[in-house]
Amino acid sequence: MSDLTDAKRAEIKAALAEFERRSAVVEEEMKPLQARLVPSQKRLDEIEGEREAYLEQFEDDIAGKCETCGKLLFVGEPGQRPHDDDPGIIYCALHGMTFADVLEAWRGAGELDEYQMKDRDNARKSVDDHVANGGLLSDIMPGVV
């Protein structure tokens, strides 16, 4: 329970009313500006609709955009789709996870079920194989999107 006096409470209510009044003045000033933006916003919405319709034609061919650099990636191009639980996240061949990143990700994984343990063991094996063949932990893991 607040121990503010009735006078202090009245002062706070008056201050908030003054903020409301000042905001209402600015909102009134903005109305003509917002009205002028409506046609432009409508045109932007139309372009976005056209863009989506255009891309729908190629939905089987376009994998998505690199999460880091935004590069458009076509299905089968080099890159990574590292998250089974979020397959929309992809990376180009330059911005994918390194072998060290994979080890680090599993190090912080916490409790694992038997399938996750199998995935972790497979990941460790691929890192071991890569290093055994002269690869570096800093190499980006190969893959396709």
72 membership: H or E segment, kind and range: strand 72-74
Closest contact distance (angstroms) between CB of 80 and Zn ion is 10
Residues between 23 and 82 that touch Zn ion (CB under 5 A): 66, 68-69, 71
Helix axes 99-107, 114-132, angle to 10 degrees: 150
CB of 87 to Zn ion, least distance (A): 17
Contacting range for Zn ion; rule: CB under 5 A; set: 27-35, 37-45, 91-99, 128-136? 91-99
Residue (78 or 135) nearer to Zn ion, CB: 78
Task: By CB under 5 A, tell whether 95 contacts Zn ion.
Answer: yes
Spatial neighbors of 82 by CB under 8 A, at least 6 apart, are 89, 91, 96, 97
Residue 62 tokens read as 């376009």
Binding site for Zn ion (CB under 5 A): 66, 68-69, 71, 92, 95
